[in-house]
Amino acid sequence: MAKSNYTEDNIRSLDWREHIRLRPGMYIGKLGDGSTPDDGIYILVKEIIDNCIDEYVMGFGKTIEVEIKDGTVSVRDYGRGIPLGKVVDVVSKINTGGKYDSKAFKKSVGLNGVGMKAANALSDHFLVQAVREGKSKVAEFEKGILTADKRVAKTKEENGTLVQFTPDSSVFKKYKFRTEFLENQLWNYAFLNAGLRLKLNGKSFYSKNGLLDLLEKKNGGETLRYPIVHMLGNDIEVALSHGQQYGEQYYSFVNGQHTTQGGTHLNAFREAVVATVRGFYDKKFDAKDIRASIVAAISVRVEEPVFESQTKTKLGSINIAPKGQTVRSFVMDFVSKHLDNYLHKNPKVAEELLKRIQQSERERKEIAGIKTLANQRAKKANLHNRKLRDCRLHFNDGPKKTKEEDRTATTIFITEGDSASGSITKARNVQTQAVFSLKGKPLNCFGTSKKVVYENEELNLLQHALNIEDGMEGLRFNNVVIATDADVDGMHIRLLLLTFFLQFFPDLVRNGHLYILETPLFRVRDKKKTFYCYSEKEKQAAIKALRGKPEITRFKGLGEISPNEFSDFIGSDMRLDPVLLNDDKIEEVLSYYMGKNTQERQEFIIDNLKIELDAITEGQEEMFDESDSVESAKEALETAE
């Protein structure tokens, strides 16, 4: 090993701006390009809105306006406004802010005042304006460096704060804001702050009934076994019911922050539900049977919360300051008292809950024997050699031993056929990327029980490769990517895999782990330059750029792309299309696409088939040839048969 000197010259002192720009992940998590809801650009928006929410919680301002145009974000609240003499300091000096004074900001989301500084340091342009009692103060920055410190001026504007920023394009490369992610953020704020009105580019977000509205919206297309139980208390709110889906579905929040990874409050809630139900029915049901198909939301407010990261996705607090009571006892006391009272007062709900538990109990016992045999088959299949080309982070290392920060960097590509899996296997980053090879088309699982997963070898091996048999806690790969050919068969396989995950592992989708790999459809090149095009529009642009008569290749199968070329498409510039749920209407979506043929779906296929054939006849579309189109219709019509 080469020796290196360690002297005074190696010691550096960084100012606040330099440190944030050198280590942005410490402040906003991953960077990303906006294709996933936890990418950095959304964290920047959240950090600014969090300050507005804190004003509302303290009783100031009932409206928050957000505008996003051409990559620039503007957030305006109507709270008290930053004290004019401290405007520059609040957005540019570490350890400076109002959150250190618990009298001014009790039970706020942020306590260290870092969020706004991070947004400032990581923006090409950052403007802050504070309005207080007829006076306005404006300051502007570029990448955290002060460029304009304007004098206090008179104004007729309402009190409040305006923050405008454009994320640094050198940090967030090729970033793009996705409206659906932003709308989901604002809906959560609305549900957690009943009475607050938020606006995004003119669209309004408002909730009157808090978490009750959240569950109704999230499960608008699903069948709940009984009316939502809504319980309100001092610093705690809970809503819950049971549905028909597999898994447990939770939405947890602390001080208005969506704790996507849960924490001490969610752990206590899950424990409290089990204890209360067992006590009410005086029977020691299996905890899995009680929580199976649960749909619930919990929100707590605590002073000086301790989160496990700056992005605040998991609560680590044990005690609730200043009372000294533990988070666990606080949540358990509330749930055990109010849920037990509710069940006694609503015998029909208690009856439906009991039926749901007994149904889960029967299903669990029914597959117990099959599950054992399936696990034995998975071991005999030598999964990690024959089906799964694992990544080095997992070699000789179970998921529980892998560091969380390493696990979040892992990706698994689900492919079909040896040629496609071979190309990706040779091109992948062996350290963090794995490949699972499917054999043939998966089973259409819509409307089936989980018993079929254990009976079907391919699906059983897939759930074992992901380690999700018993829930998302053991998920071995952060990004699960469906990588199929850009032809009819590939699209059919993609649809069948989506059905499998939505039917049995919906949390994989809800938690943002499932993606579709976008690969180029065309290669356009001449002797000097090569373009990889993902659409007909990009292809035409490439042809114009090269001029002359370039060579054009249409990639129909992943196996047609050489490993050398593939390395460009699954590297740092990899294009992933996230699989998103529209208000969790899983049953409605799957029924339309994968259920028994309906007149509505047949008419849709026939209408679109005619459009496609007309386009081919006119020579305007090269995505499919005519035989592909006819086959596409046949496949779609026969999928549910």
Task: Provide CB contacts within 8 A for 430, sequence distance 6+.
Answer: 391, 392
Q: How confident is the model at residue 130 (pLDDT cuts 50, 70, 90)?
A: very high
Q: Are 504 and 450 in contact (CB under 8 A)?
A: yes
Chain centroid to CA 100: 31
- Which of 476, 246, 502 has the alpha carbon at shortest distance from 383? 476
In this prediction, residue 550 has a pLDDT band, given cuts at 50, 70 and 90, of very high
Quote the pLDDT of residue 396: 46
- The residue with greater pLDDT, 600 or 274, is 274
Tell me the pLDDT tens digit for each residue of 511-546. Answer: 889 999 988 889 999 988 999 998 889 999 999 999
Q: Sorting pLDDT into bands at 50, 70 and 90, what band is 599?
A: confident
| Mean of pLDDT over the chain | 83
Portion of the chain with pLDDT greater than 90, in percent: 44
DSSP per position, 522-562: EEEE-SS-EEEESSHHHHHHHHHHH-S--EEEE--SGGGS-
Question: Span 152-173, mean pLDDT?
Answer: 95
Q: Which fold has domain 381-519+558-585?
A: Rossmann fold (3.40.50)
pLDDT of residue 37 exceeding 70, the answer is: yes
Specify the amino acid at residue 608: N
DSSP symbol at 172 = S
Q: What pLDDT shows up at residue 294?
A: 94
CATH assignment of 211-363? Answer: 3.30.230.10
Give me the pLDDT at residue 4, please: 59
Whether residue 81 contacts residue 159, with contact meaning beta carbons closer than 8 Å, is answered with: yes
Q: Most confidently modeled of 13-27, 265-279, 493-507? A: 265-279
Q: Is the pLDDT of residue 91 over 60?
A: yes
Tell me what the mean pLDDT of segment 232-259 comes to: 89
The whole-number average pLDDT for the span 129-133 is 96
Q: Which helix (H) or strand (E) holds 415?
A: strand 411-416
Task: Give the N- to C-terminal CA distance of the chain in Å, as an integer.
Answer: 63
Token pair in block for residue 20:
């944030």
Per CATH, domain 17-206 is 3.30.565.10: yes
Q: Kindly tell me if the per-residue pLDDT of 89 is higher than 70.
A: yes
59-67 average pLDDT score: 95
| pLDDT over threshold 60, residue 404 | no
pLDDT at 640 over 90: no
pTM: 0.77
pLDDT of residue 18: 84
**Span 321-342, average pLDDT:** 87
**Where do the domains of the chain lie?**
17-206, 211-363, 381-519+558-585, 522-554, 596-641
Q: Where are the beta strands (DSSP E) in 143-271?
A: 145-149, 153-154, 160-167, 197-200, 203-206, 229-233, 236-242, 249-254, 257-258
Neighbours of 521 (CB within 10 A): 19
597 pLDDT exceeds 50?
A: yes
